């Protein structure tokens, strides 16, 4: 088995709202090998997004160890986590979350602002990413001038442009029609197979999950394997 890019050991996540404490993840242990495309499925409230947030370094666990791309995330402060995210992870969301006032190219350039690349290099890299996802001809268009599928491609280009080791996708096809959804999923599959990107994707859609190499199911804050809690 190849080296794990994501490794979780006995991870708990609790949210406290006033006097109430909600246990979202309980003693979760998981390994995702480098280069794998994993679909994370489960009913609403099962903890999929929380798990994704932890893997992507957007949140920290209440207990347990999380190692992603060789870095213990549970030991990092918010500043170090931000720097780690910039270097190692790309995010794709259901509603694209592009900056509405920036062109597609400027949106894709955003992560590169945190690097030392020159303006010309940033532009070249952004165009390369847009070309890779097949939307270079829309580089000057703003998000409101793009279809859902096109906007999601721009979002994927933004996630890819800094060449992260891991792509984290939260319902990337949830807002798309079947055709656009399939195009996006094929694109993710191509990035996984041809460019070796590790991908963790949350989805409700069984058809979308079929594009992944492995499906993981969650329920009540724990992983199920063949219908059994692990």
Partner 1 sequence: MKYFPLIWATLWRKKTRTLFTLLSVIVAFLLFGMLETVDYAFSHPSTGVTGADKLITTNKYSITLPLPIADAQQIRSVPGVAEVTWISWFGAYYQESKNFVFALPVDADSYFNLHRGEFIVSDEQMQAYRNTRTGALVNEALMKKFGWKVGDKVPLHSTIWTQKKDASLDWTFDIVGTFSVKDPTQASAQSQTLLFHYDLFDEGRSFGKGDVGWFEARVSDPSQSSAISNRIDALFANSPNETKTQPANDFTMAFIKQFGDIGFVLRAILGAVFFALLFLTGNTMMQSVRERIPELAILKTLGFGDGMVLELVLAESLLLCVIAAIIGLALSFAALPIIKQGLQGVELSPRALIPGMGAAVLLALIVGLPPALRAMRLNIVDALADKR
> Which chain residues interact with partner 1 by CB under 8 A?
49, 53, 56, 58-59, 78-79, 82-87, 91, 93-95, 97, 99-102, 106, 110-111, 113-114, 119, 122, 158, 170-171
Please identify, using beta-carbon distances, which residue of 97 and 215 lies nearer to partner 1. Answer: 97
What HEC string does 164-179 produce? CCEEEEECCCCCCCHH
Other C-beta atoms within 10 Å of 175: how many? 16
Encode burial over 184-196: b for 16+ CB neighbours within 10 A, e otherwise: bbebbeebbeeee
Closest listed residue to residue 108, CA positions, set 63, 144, 138: 138
Please identify, using beta-carbon distances, which residue of 110 and 222 lies nearer to partner 1. Answer: 110
Considering the complex, what minimum distance in angstroms separates the CB of residue 114 from partner 1?
5
The C-alpha angle with vertex 143 and arms to 117 and 179, in degrees rounded to 5, equals 110
Backbone angles phi, psi at 217, to 5 degrees: -115, 140
Considering the complex, what minimum distance in angstroms separates the CB of residue 94 from partner 1?
5
Please identify, using beta-carbon distances, which residue of 37 and 96 lies nearer to partner 1. Answer: 96
Any alpha helices (H) in the chain, and if so which ranges?
48-55, 78-88, 104-109, 119-132, 148-160, 178-195, 206-209
Considering the complex, what minimum distance in angstroms separates the CB of residue 65 from partner 1?
20
Strand order in the sheet with 228-229: 89-92, 166-170, 198-202, 37-41, 214-219, 222-225, 228-229
Q: What is the C-alpha separation between 71 and 180, in angstroms, rounded? A: 35
Considering the complex, what minimum distance in angstroms separates the CB of residue 90 from partner 1?
9
Considering the complex, what minimum distance in angstroms separates the CB of residue 228 from partner 1?
29
Angle, in degrees to the nearest 10, between helices 148-160 and 178-195: 20
Please identify, using beta-carbon distances, which residue of 62 and 94 lies nearer to partner 1. Answer: 94
Considering the complex, what minimum distance in angstroms separates the CB of residue 43 from partner 1?
16
């Amino acid at each position: 088995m190849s080296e794990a890019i994501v490794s979780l050991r006995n991870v708990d996540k609790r949210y406290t709202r006033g006097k109430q404490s909600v246990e979202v993840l309980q003693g979760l242990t998981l390994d995702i090998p480098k280069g794998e495309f994993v679909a994370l499925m489960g009913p609403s409230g099962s903890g999929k997004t929380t798990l994704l947030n932890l893997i992507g370094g957007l949140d920290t666990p209440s207990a347990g160890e999380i190692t992603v791309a060789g870095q213990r995330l549970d030991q990092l402060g918010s500043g170090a986590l931000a720097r780690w995210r910039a270097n190692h992870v790309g995010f794709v969301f259901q509603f694209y979350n592009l900056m509405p006032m920036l062109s597609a190219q400027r949106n894709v350039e955003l992560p590169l602002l945190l690097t030392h690349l020159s303006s010309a290099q940033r532009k070249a890299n952004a165009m390369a990413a847009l070309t890779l996802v097949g939307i270079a001809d829309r580089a000057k268009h703003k998000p409101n001038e793009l279809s859902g599928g096109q906007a999601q491609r721009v979002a994927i280009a933004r996630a890819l442009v800094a060449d992260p080791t891991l792509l984290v996708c939260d319902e990337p096809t949830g807002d798309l029609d079947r055709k656009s959804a399939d195009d996006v999923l094929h694109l993710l599959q191509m990035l996984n197979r041809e460019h070796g990107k590790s991908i963790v994707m949350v989805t409700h859609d069984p058809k979308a999950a079929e594009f992944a190499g492995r499906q993981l199911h969650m329920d009540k804050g724990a992983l199920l394997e063949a219908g059994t809690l692990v």
